[in-house]
Amino acid sequence: MIERVHPPITEKGLKPALLWAAFLGSSWTWIIGMVLPVFLVADYGFWGWVVFAAPNIIGAGAMGFVLPNEAVSRRVSGKHRDMCLRFSEITVVFHFFVIGWLYQLLFGWWGVGVACGLGLIVWIMAQKRTGTMIATVAITLISFIMAGIGFTQSGAWEGLVGIGGEGLRLSADSLWFFVPASVLGFLLCPYLDLTFHRARQSTSPGVGKAAFAIGFGIVFCTMIVFSLAYAGLLRPAVIEGKTITLPTIWLVILAIHMTIQAGYTIGLHAREMNLRMGKAGVLRVFVLGIAGVIAGWIATQSDWSMQVGDNVMRSSEVGYRTFLMCYGLAFPAYVWLCMIPTIRRNITSRGKVWVWALATLGGAPLVFGFFVMNKLWWMVWLIGLLIIARIIIEMLPQQKTETEQA
């Protein structure tokens, strides 16, 4: 199936390249780009952020080159429509979970309301290209201004120690086991992101490549460098679940940046769901939003925690890392097993999905053990499982062509 949900390309040149670059960079910042660096700096120090950033920038930017034109993107998003929608749904509820947990902890319920309200506004504006670009330019510029101010403030760049440095939660060796998890997730997940497909389907081949390169090499990179700058500042709230009193300037900077970025991503994914599912998509966003905020709020109220080695992991962190399992296993495994072309043509799609489902079920305990329980070698077993699953897919029976059936 070839999707026709986006209008044909009408513009070429530098202006659309820059606009779609801002769209891509901001749409991908979201809850992982803004919050995961806090965990990584606490666990691994500065190099944890590097291992997160490099495959993220390269993997997302590469999509504009791997999918060379709008026609290829339309075929991919059409053929894998259902899983792309699942990606948007999980992304939406993940945002609302963090809003109910961290935003409520940092900014109070007004922060929750503003983020949700902005999501609604962006969804309305994103129905048309002009509205999308107005929201994109405004949000990107505001975040850049907040980052520029934040880079110079007291409290920025705290806790940035090297491998094995003092105060880190995990050993130096553990960083090497995080590398394949980061590479697997960030190289493969972009192909399920419908906002990326919107950008690729709205640009000519040259403009699209420029937009993806600038969007992730400059816009998104700036956003996650800013996340690195405030990672140490937010550690007590994110890691220890403490209610912290931020300096007024930081409260303003982070409240503005984090609420507009979360609202922007929610609105864009809601728009893609609405396009493909109609009113059911809007209803689903509403239900997921309520469920996510409630789950996040419960995490802040719960005293439950896990002892992981010498560290205590609170329920909010366990919840956050559990969501990461989707981006560290379920979604990248789908791309690896079901989307990348096989050596032998016409392998049955149903067979691929069955292998993916079994591999995901079998790998779930392994990825939970790695992401949550710090079982380092379980990541190696997971990679082995996915390699075996790919070999099995290459050996599946081929569908008969119409000529053979006749």
The number of domains in the chain is: 1
Tell me the average pLDDT across 25-46. 94
Q: Is pLDDT of 164 > 70?
A: no
Q: Please check whether residue 406 lies inside any domain of the structure.
A: no
pLDDT tens digits for range 354-405: 999 999 999 999 999 999 998 999 999 999 999 999 999 999 988 765 444 4
> Read out DSSP for 222-267?
HHHHHHHHHHHHHHHHHHH-------HHHHHHHHHHHHHHHHHHHH
Q: Please check whether residue 334 lies inside any domain of the structure.
A: no
Measure the CA–CA gap between 206 and 202, rounded to whole angstroms.
12
For the question of whether the overall pTM of this predicted structure is more than 0.85, the answer is yes
Tell me the average pLDDT across 14-31. 96
Q: Please check whether residue 104 lies inside any domain of the structure.
A: yes
> Lowest-pLDDT range, 184-188, 241-245, 323-327, 359-363?
241-245
Q: Please check whether residue 207 lies inside any domain of the structure.
A: yes
Residue 108 dihedral angles phi and psi, to the nearest 5°: 80, -175
Q: How many residues does the chain have?
A: 406
Contacts 24+ apart (CB under 8 A), 311-315: 311/169, 313/372, 314/239, 314/240, 314/241
Average pLDDT, the chain: 92
Q: What b/e readout covers 114-144, taking b as 16+ CB neighbours within 10 angstroms?
A: bbbebbbebbebbeebebbbebbeebbeebb
Which residues does 15 contact at the CB level (< 8 Å), separation at least 6?
Answer: none
Is 288 within 8 Å of 92 (Cβ atoms)? yes
Show the domain range for 306. 14-324
Q: Please check whether residue 3 lies inside any domain of the structure.
A: no
Residue 294 dihedral angles phi and psi, to the nearest 5°: -65, -45
pLDDT tens digits for range 200-252: 999 999 999 999 999 999 999 999 999 999 999 999 999 988 888 889 999 99
Is 221 within 8 Å of 53 (Cβ atoms)? yes
Q: Please check whether residue 391 lies inside any domain of the structure.
A: no
Q: Which residue is listed with tokens 């760049």?
A: 157
Residue 103 dihedral angles phi and psi, to the nearest 5°: -65, -40
| Amino acid identity at 121 | I
Tell me the average pLDDT across 167-182. 90
Q: Please check whether residue 402 lies inside any domain of the structure.
A: no
Identify the burial level of 375 via C-beta atoms within 10 angstroms of its C-beta, where 0-12 means exposed, 13-18 middle and 19 or more buried.
middle
Q: Is pLDDT of 163 > 90?
A: no
| Amino acid identity at 204 | S
pLDDT for the residue 1: 58
Which residues does 367 contact at the CB level (< 8 Å), separation at least 6?
Answer: 181, 325, 328, 329, 378, 379, 382
Q: Please check whether residue 170 lies inside any domain of the structure.
A: yes
